[in-house]
Amino acid sequence: MIGLFDRFARPILSALDPEDAHGLALKGLKLVPLPKPAPNDPRLAIRAFGLNFPNPVGVAPGFDKNAEVPSPLLRLGFGFVEVGTVTPRPQAGNPRPRIFRLDADEAIINRLGFNNEGEKAALSRLAARAADGGIIGVNVGANRDSPDRIADYVRLIESFAPVASYITVNVSSPNTPGLRDLQQAKSLDDLLARAIDARERMRTRYGSIPVLLKIAPDLSLADLDDIVGVARQRRMDGMIISNTTLSRPPSLKEREKAIEQGGLSGRPLFALSTRVLAETYVRVEGAFPLIGAGGIDSGAAALTKIKAGASVVQLYTGLVFHGLGVVSEIKREILKALEKGRHNTLADLVGNDAADMTAEPWPV
């Protein structure tokens, strides 16, 4: 089924406007009945944030912003799905065109600006599919015109706690003006203090709900010191590294499209996001696990992320350029690496190369 999709549907989708293609892919996932996926090799399982992941390959947020297709995505063999970003009220986002495919670079620039149907719509869909199970993260953000952005996060943690496996506090979208300022130490401390208060209130009602922080890759190491310091002090459950970058690596071939405003994802983001992941891992010192994202498009790339410190990984842009087959390829490659190194579990690989990576020259 996946092979058929990659062979016939993907060439059509890649000829369309990127946003239309994405809409069609979502429709297809809703309509086409998918068979149950093959069971995962038990060596791919990993426990993180108090959750048992059947395999470490997840769908990054942005793909299913409105929680329309989490169950079909799990059926494609993903170990987890993060939906969102969801904001309290629906919002239209920026004017189109706002997604650009840089084909020669296997990259995307997007400036969507948190277009989504809002909390109510996502909540009712997640409640309706709750019996399907699986690990579903909900990525939450503030409305662009919100008078109190921190209150938006608190409210969303409270409303999604009953239906989410974990909740991600997303302060790293480059497309909501001022949002990334919430990564600065003082604002971040205010935000996380209130987010963790909300988590504790929800724990008594619904059981524990891990709350993760997703960061940008465009940070100085001094910024990262502060962020990890605050996240550890506030006892966050984990971090996700990273969102898209505002930088434009000089290696980009599609120079004309590269000047579009927005966040860059895909292969050119790999080196930077992996370095920031390794830098985060050495600072966290095992206090909580990490999710790695940014430019994963193969088994080798996923393994590099895991060795840089990711317990589980997420991808989006790699699916656009390489198709759904990449999911099973990643699983196969991880198993091969485990066999080669005579490891019994994936956890044995996490962070093995982090210290060495932080000694390399900074990627540009």
Ligand X SMILES: Cc1cc2nc3c(=O)[nH]c(=O)nc-3n(C[C@H](O)[C@H](O)[C@H](O)COP(=O)(O)O)c2cc1C
Q: Is 173 among the catalytic positions?
A: yes
Q: Give yes or no for residue 140 binding ligand X (CB under 6 A).
A: no
Contacts (CB under 6 A) with ligand X, residues 321-350: none
Q: Give yes or no for residue 311 binding ligand X (CB under 6 A).
A: no
Among 25, 48, 71, 85, binds ligand X (CB under 6 A): 85
Continuous segment of H or E residues that includes residue 159: helix 149-160
Q: For residue 244, which amino acid is it?
A: T
Helix (H, G, I), strand (E, B) or coil at 125: helix
Residue 293 or 306: the one with the smaller Cβ distance to ligand X is 293
Q: Give yes or no for residue 170 binding ligand X (CB under 6 A).
A: yes
Tokens 């990564």 — which residue? Answer: 183
Give the CA-trace dihedral at 335, 60, 30, 120, to 10 degrees. 140
Smallest separation (angstroms) from ligand X to the CB of 35: 26
Residues with Cβ within 8 Å of 265's Cβ and at least 6 positions away in sequence, in order, are 107, 108, 109, 110, 244, 245, 294, 295, 316, 317
- Which entry of 71, 159, 173, 265 is annotated as an active-site residue? 173
Helix (H, G, I), strand (E, B) or coil at 88: coil
Smallest separation (angstroms) from ligand X to the CB of 342: 30
Smallest separation (angstroms) from ligand X to the CB of 204: 28
Q: Give yes or no for residue 295 binding ligand X (CB under 6 A).
A: yes
C-alpha distances in Å from residue 31, one per residue of 19, 34, 132, 223: 19, 9, 17, 45
Smallest separation (angstroms) from ligand X to the CB of 171: 9
Residue 174 or 351: the one with the smaller Cβ distance to ligand X is 174
Residue 56 or 84: the one with the smaller Cβ distance to ligand X is 84
CA proximity to 239, closest of 190, 188, 194, 200 = 188
Helix (H, G, I), strand (E, B) or coil at 264: strand
Among 58, 61, 113, 249, binds ligand X (CB under 6 A): 61
CA proximity to 92, closest of 110, 118, 67, 74 = 118
| Beta carbons within 10 angstroms of residue 8's beta carbon | 9
Question: Can you tell me the distance from the alpha carbon of 310 to that of 323, in angstroms, rounded to the nearest whole number?
Answer: 22
Q: Give yes or no for residue 281 binding ligand X (CB under 6 A).
A: no
Residue 19 or 353: the one with the smaller Cβ distance to ligand X is 19
| Beta carbons within 10 angstroms of residue 112's beta carbon | 21
Q: What are phi and psi of 333, to 5 degrees?
A: -65, -35
Region from 29-37, 58-66, 67-75, 159-167 binding ligand X, contact rule CB under 6 A: 58-66
Tokens read off for 261 = 């405003």
Q: Give yes or no for residue 315 binding ligand X (CB under 6 A).
A: yes
Question: Can you tell me the distance from the alpha carbon of 309 to that of 274, in angstroms, rounded to the nearest whole number?
Answer: 9
* Closest residue by beta carbon to ligand X: 62
Among 75, 129, 214, 331, binds ligand X (CB under 6 A): 214
Cα dihedral sign for 322, 325, 326, 329? Answer: negative
Residue 177 or 286: the one with the smaller Cβ distance to ligand X is 177
Question: Can you tell me the distance from the alpha carbon of 334 to that of 337, in angstroms, rounded to the nearest whole number?
Answer: 5
Tokens read off for 291 = 């999710």
Residue 60 or 230: the one with the smaller Cβ distance to ligand X is 60
Smallest separation (angstroms) from ligand X to the CB of 195: 15
Region from 9-17, 49-57, 291-299, 327-335 binding ligand X, contact rule CB under 6 A: 291-299
Among 139, 176, 274, 311, binds ligand X (CB under 6 A): 139
Among 318, 323, 327, 350, binds ligand X (CB under 6 A): 318
Number of residues that bind ligand X (CB under 6 A): 27
Residue 298 or 345: the one with the smaller Cβ distance to ligand X is 298
* Residues that are catalytic: 173
Binding interface with ligand X (CB under 6 A): 60-62, 65, 84-85, 99, 108, 110, 112, 139, 170, 173, 214, 243-244, 265-266, 269, 293-296, 315-318
